[in-house]
Structure formats: structure tokens, C-alpha cells
Amino acid sequence: MKKGNYLLTGLTLPNGDKSDIAISHGKITEIAANLSAADGFVNVDLAGSIALPGLVDLHTHLREPGKEDAETVLSGSMAAAKGGFVAVSAMANTSPVADTAGVVEQVFALGQSAGFADVFPIGAVTQGLKGENLAEIGAMADSRARVRVFSDDGSCVFDPLVMRRALEYVKKFDGVIAQHAQDPRLTQGAQMNEGEISSRLGLKGWPAVAEEAIIARDILLADHVQSRLHICHLTTAGGVEIIRWAKARGINVTAEVTPHHLLLTDETALSYDPIFKVNPPLRTQKDVEALREGLADGTIDIVATDHAPHPAEAKECEWQEAAFGMLGLESALSIVNQTMVATGLMNWESVADRMSYAPAKIARYGEHGKALTVGAIANITLINPSQIYRVDRDLVASRSRNTPFHGMDLQGAVTATFFRGLPTFLDGKLTSVHKSTSESVGN
Amino acid sequence: MKHLLSINDLSKAEAISILDTAQELARASDGPMKKLPTLRGRTIVNLFAEDSTRTRISFEAAAKRLSADVINFSSKGSSISKGESLKDTAQTLQAMGADAVIIRHSASGAAQRLADSKWMSGSVINAGDGTHEHPSQALLDAFTIRKHLSKGANDLTGLRVAIVGDVLHSRVARSNVLLLSNLGAQVVLVAPPTLLPVGVQSWPCQISYDLDEVIASVDAIMMLRIQLERMSEMYFPNAREYSRYFGLNSDRIRAMKAEAIVMHPGPMNRGLEITADAADGARSVIVEQVANGVSIRMAILYLLLAGNQEIAENGVSS
């Protein structure tokens, strides 16, 4: 069989139409019902699956360079493919920090050679993520990695003057600052959402206002300097309200929510199991509902995973000793299906927007986030929304196992991922686009 | 009951049974032979990853009076100070055959982590975890209050207890609020608003910012230790101002009910949350709390490790 010719059958398009999709040489060549396989086409039966434009993650920790025991660009992009992603955005908090052209080019190149998804590095806003001096933003933008998103994620750009300068500076090349909104003074030593549960558990509280105050400040700054602001991992009902207000005023702000903040609450901390320890913290049911509503009505633009792998010892310990963060890539689409689609809050067109079109647009990933049309690059994610599976941390593609969903039954399984016309994930197998088809399928 | 991690683990009946057992054991210990053979051959580890004097010694005395073998394992000069993880420490203790581990740890939830993990299989007793709970302290406090004030009732119905001071960082306060309210007492927390946690409104107790408003109405007052490092964290302007509003002094002692008692879990900061004459005065049961602590801890060990054996059956060892 010839490499690169596939006929995907039995699909439902985001608009609800039943259809088949033919792929050849990396492009979508036909979209119609009841296509018959031409010579040399591999017929892939995906009956029951929804076809979505390939998913784009704007918030991913791939840990390379520096923490290769937790994840590498290769293992992280395999996890991405398994989760239906064709592009991920590697956060800058590596070691060394991605604050120079050299580091972002290295990460970009590692992604290209892995061949499971496009890996777009995010550049640091400040040198060493210290919040003091601007990193080489222009050099990173001009590098082969063509960085457009800058973030000190993990740390907040707290100094308002530094934030103002960063917002202004990236206007030169239509960049965006992705802010990790966390007032460091209000969250010193903080462990979990501040509220009833933290008061009982004796874990230091992380007040919602520590997030909301920074969001409000940065929205006003972005408005003042007429630049683009993106708010990472929104978690509070108050934050949703502030973003809604800003959008109503026409301020150029976008926001993301993680799958785990759409599903889990601070009650998980009652176990003291740090698998549920994450930054920003899991909040209350009221916040979860506000986030879902905000995502449904478009106040929140995108879902981003904040995939944060950690080695076992970083979680097999006391809560306050444990690292913040949880895996996200492999379960993201299932959780969006479960919390947003199965609940009737969103349809598949909206999922395509929040997980593909909108993130690609915010980050200016020109080849991504395109509708499934004839002639488009064949980046396609397939999900069977009725298939229920039990999450098993021992079966993840990531090098780490810190999924908070271990043992949970999730609804909606990714059945295949096509990246530039080739199946990076199909029949439960992961295959790099650099390997030949015969090696991967059916071996 | 396998572990004692939180007061939430105890029903009212179980809590009363611990108090009753402690009372019986105290009586037995008053006899000519202090030692009971109940836990002969059992190994109990005192795992103290945070400094402690009275709780460690109290548990050690309790275990020894029940004839258990006690191994003391404290952070200083041990593998913990070399950075060994809780998991590795637990697995080591398991390999050495510990029947129970009494753990004191600076991390909230450390005891529960130990109990829920597969790292060891013995009983876990929480001897204070971070700012979460200190169940044996609350039990000895309830025991002390009951002894002085319950007029023969087996619970604390109708009594009013004030807990005063740094509630935010106090595991003693958390355990006491749960236990005393479960036993029928009315608990009122008295503290500056900075030292009450956000979310405290959901606790089964009343809140006051004014000690003088509360002092005349309580049957027992429990003063909490103010740690010196709180000074630099802006919870209150200075020690003098704290003492003026929230310290227990002779004027406030005089304002209390005739029978009311004064308690402190120790160690005290004399001159800060309590003056010397309040600490050493006629109302003070602070030293008695320490003695009661041994009986309560014997009862806890007894009930967790010896199950349903009758105390009388074991008799007094010869």
C-alpha cells in the first residue's frame, strides 16, 4: 500500500453531517458520504467517531531540556497524539529556561524530529522567569521557532511595569503575553483553594482574589497599551466575570480553562493525595459551573491542558512537599466531552472552536485550526463520544504517571489522530510521521 | 478502628469509650503496679519528624505502661534529616515489624498519607500533623473537662468552652472544635480575625473577636500558644497589643465563673497569651492535662491494638 492515502469512513462531522473523508499526500481530498476506496487507499473504519479539526494545545509542559525524567519532547508529543493533538505549545519553564533563541530552536527541532505533533515553543517573558528583565523576546520571535506566545508560566509577571513593557513589546510582531495570574504575596506557601475545605484540612489557602486581582490589572494594562493578553488556566467564577466584562468593553483579552478545572473541585484534597495538587488550585463546584458556562458562551476562548508531568517521587509524599501539576494531554478531549458535550452545554462545532480554531488563532499557528474542507492539511482528530474507558496511569504515553483521573471512567475516547495526513495514533498504536506506514499499521 | 488520624474518625460513642477507657486505665495505674501486660511483644514506633517533648514522652510513657516495645525515631540525627522521604521511612519501619506508628509531622495530612498508602500496614496514630489535627490532645482535653465539670455525665452537654488565640495555625483547635462539639459542648473561638481561617464559618462553633465579651460565660478556657514567628507575619501589631486583647491575665481570671477552669496545651509563652498567675493559679489544670495525656494515650493504644480485650482480664502485671 502506498503511504499517505487513507479513506476514513463512518464519521460524523462537527456540524452533525455523516461523511467519509479521503486523505492523500497530507491533504484532505474528498469529504462526502459513502465514498468508496480507490486503489492504494487504506480504508479506516471509524464508525461512531466524530471528526474534529486536529486539536491544538496552548499550554503544555514538555520538561525538556532539564527534566527528562518527567517528560521529553518525544514522550510528550506521543501523549499529545494519543490525546488527539496535532500541535502543542511547550512552556518556557525548562532548565535552562526558554528565554533565548537557542533554547526555543532546540525544542522546536526536537518536536520536528519526534514527528507526532508540531511543538511550538513558548518563550519566557523575563530572563530566567524571574520577573525582572525582559527575555530576548525579539530574537525568539525571529528564530526558526517563530515564537509568538510569551509566558513566565509557573510564575506570574508580577511587576506591573514589566508586564506593561512586555505587552507593548510583543505588538511589534503581533505576539501575545500569556499570564499566569497569581499574586505571589497573597499566595506565599499556598497549597490549595482557600475556603471551607482548606480551613478544615489545615492547608494554607490560595485565595481566588490572588488570581482575579492580577487578571483585572492586566486587562486594564492591555487595554491601555492596546496589546494582546491571554489569561492562562482561569479557575474562578470571579475571573470569568472579569473576562466577560473586559470582552464586553472590547478589550483584546483571551482566556483558557483546563480540563481538570472543568471537572474536579477542592474536595479532592480531602484525601490529602497530592495527585490533586495543582497550580492554580482546584476550586469549588460553583467555580466549576461558572467555568463551564464561560467556556460554553465563549467568554473563555479555549481549553488548554496545562499538561504537567512529574516523576513519581514528586507526588508520593506529603501534600505540602509535593509538586504542583497533573497530566492532561491524553484525557483532555474525553473530559471536554463529558463535562461540556454530554451535558448539552456545547456542540461539536464549539469543541472544534475551543480546542482547535481558537487556540491556533491566538497563537498564530497558521497551518493549524482550519476547518475540515477539501484541500486543507489533513490534521484530524477522531473521537468516539459514547465509548467509556477507565483511565489507567500505567498505560499512559507520557513518561510520568501523575494523572488525577486514574481509576475513573471517562466518556469519549480518541480513536485516531491524523497529523499532516498520517496516523500518529490509530488502532491504539502511536506512530511517528517519520516512520513508514507498513511499520506502524497492523504490526 | 485501625487508625486514629482525625477526630472525624470517631463517633460520639467511640470518643466516650476512649474517655471511659482512659479513666479505667488511670485507676489501674494508680495501683501499686503501674504496668499492664496488654501490649507485651508489640512494637510501637514514635516517628517524630517535628520537634516535640510532651507528646512524644507522653506516648512513650503510655506505650511502656502497656508493656509495648517502643522505638523512638525523631528527625534530628535520623535518616529524615538526611532527606529521606516519608515513603522510605515508612517502608523501613514496616520492614522492622512496627505494629503501630505514632507520627508527628510538620505537614498537614502526613498521618493520613501514611495510613492510606501501601507503604506500611500497621496502625497509624496522628500525634499532630501540621496545622491540621492533634486528636490525642483533644481527647485529653475533653477528658480533663469532663472530669472537672460534667457532674457525672459521660459527655459535655451544656458546657461552654472558649478556645482563644491562633486558631489559624492550631491543630489543637481543629481537633477540639470537632470533638468538644460532638460531645455536646458549645465551643466559641476567640481570636483576632487575622488568626481565624477563611471558611471557619462552616465549623461547628461560634466565633468572637472579643475575649472580654466571652470570658464570663465559659466553663473552660483553652489558651493557644502564639508562635513567636507570627510576630513578623503581621497577624497583629505587636505582642503587647495581642496580650492586651487576647491574653489571659488576673483581671480576666476574676471575671470567670466560679467553677471555670483554665487550660493550655503547652508549651506556654508566659507573658504573651497567659500570665504566670493565670497559668499557675487555682483554676489552672494545665499540669493535670499532661498527666491525663498519658491515660488518654494508653486508652488509644489499647483500643487500637488490643481491640476488645477487657482491661480487667489483663489484670495488673506482676
Are A201 and B197 inside 8 Å of each other by CB? no
Interatomic CA distance for residues B260 and B148, integer angstroms? 9
Interatomic CA distance for residues A175 and A326, integer angstroms? 28
Mean pLDDT, residues A246-262 taken together: 98
pLDDT of residue A436: 53
Of A167-171, A269-273, B196-200, B231-235, the one with minimum mean pLDDT is B231-235
pLDDT of residue B133: 98
Short-list B263, B261, B260, B253, CA closest to B289 = B263
Size of interface A-B (CB pairs under 8 A): 77
Short-list B77, B134, B81, CA closest to B103 = B134
Q: How many residues does chain B have?
A: 318
Are B109 and A201 inside 8 Å of each other by CB? yes
Q: How confident is the model at residue B50 (pLDDT cuts 50, 70, 90)?
A: confident
Distance from CA of B200 to the nearest CA of A (A): 6
Residue identified by cell 509495648 is: B68
Are B107 and A197 inside 8 Å of each other by CB? no
- A192 forms beta bridges with A205
**Close Cβ partners of B68 (under 8 Å, ≥ 6 residues apart):** B39, B40, B42, B43, B44, B99, B301, B305
Query: For chain A, what is the total number of helices (H) and then of strands (E)?
Result: 13, 19
Distance from CA of B44 to the nearest CA of A (A): 22
Are B199 and A194 inside 8 Å of each other by CB? yes
Short-list A4, A23, A81, CA closest to A430 = A81
In order of A357, B60, B296, B299, the CA distances from B66 in angstroms are: 70, 10, 12, 10
Candidate from B117, B199, B201 with C-beta closest to A198: B199
Q: For the domain covering A54-363, report its CATH number.
A: 3.20.20.140
Which of B113, B120, B232 is the mutation pick for testing A, counting most A CBs within 10 A? B113
Of A29-38, A99-108, A263-272, B186-195, the one with minimum mean pLDDT is A29-38
Grid cell digits, residue A437: 506506514
Q: Judge whether B211 and B189 are in contact, CB under 8 Å.
A: no
B176-218: pLDDT as tens digits: 999 999 999 999 999 999 999 999 999 999 999 999 999 999 9
Distance from CA of A191 to the nearest CA of B (A): 10
Sort strands A422-426 and A429-430 into parallel, antiparallel or unpaired.
antiparallel
In order of A52, A91, A305, A377, B45, the CA distances from A367 in angstroms are: 15, 20, 20, 8, 62
Q: How many CB atoms lie within 10 A of CB B21?
A: 18
Are A321 and B107 inside 8 Å of each other by CB? yes
Are B133 and A196 inside 8 Å of each other by CB? no
Same fold, B7-133+290-312 and B135-288: yes
Residue identified by cell 497529523 is: A419
Which of A192, A201, A266, A276 is the mutation pick for testing B, counting most B CBs within 10 A? A201
Which conformational region is residue A323 in: left (phi greater than 0), alpha (psi within -120 to 50 degrees), or beta? beta
Interatomic CA distance for residues A296 and A289, integer angstroms? 11
B268-292: pLDDT as tens digits: 999 999 999 999 999 999 999 999 9
Architecture per CATH, B135-288: 3-Layer(aba) Sandwich (3.40)
Interatomic CA distance for residues A346 and A344, integer angstroms? 6
Candidate from B85, B129, B130 with C-beta closest to A317: B85
Q: Which residues of A touch B112 (CB under 8 A)?
A: 271-272
- A386 forms beta bridges with none
The gap from C-alpha B167 to its chain's centroid, in whole angstroms, comes to: 14
Give the H/E segment covering residue B263: strand B261-263
Percentage with pLDDT > 90 across chain A: 96
Grid cell digits, residue B104: 508527628
Which residues 173-202 of chain B have a CB within 8 Å of chain A? 174, 197-202
Interface ipTM = 0.93
The gap from C-alpha B21 to its chain's centroid, in whole angstroms, comes to: 17
- B161 forms beta bridges with B187, B220
pLDDT of residue B233: 84
Q: Judge whether A358 and A391 are in contact, CB under 8 Å.
A: no
Are A272 and B109 inside 8 Å of each other by CB? yes
Catalytic positions of B are: 54-55, 82, 104, 134
Short-list A148, A279, A161, CA closest to A217 = A161
Q: Which residues of A touch B200 (CB under 8 A)?
A: 199
Radius of gyration over alpha carbons of chain B, in Å? 19
Fold annotation for B7-133+290-312: Rossmann fold (3.40.50)
Are A207 and B113 inside 8 Å of each other by CB? no
pLDDT of residue B99: 95
Are B107 and A199 inside 8 Å of each other by CB? no
Residue identified by cell 519501619 is: B93
Mean pLDDT, residues A7-30 taken together: 97
From the list A99, A218, A266, A306, the catalytic residue is A306
Listed by start position, the domains of chain A span 5-51+375-440, 54-363
Fold annotation for A5-51+375-440: Urease, subunit C; domain 1 (2.30.40)
Percentage with pLDDT > 90 across chain B: 79
Candidate from B105, B132, B200 with C-beta closest to A201: B132
The gap from C-alpha A214 to its chain's centroid, in whole angstroms, comes to: 22
Q: Which residues of B touch A194 (CB under 8 A)?
A: 198-199
Q: How confident is the model at residue B78 (pLDDT cuts 50, 70, 90)?
A: low
- Predicted structure pTM score: 0.94
Q: Which residues of A touch B89 (CB under 8 A)?
A: none
Listed by start position, the domains of chain B span 7-133+290-312, 135-288
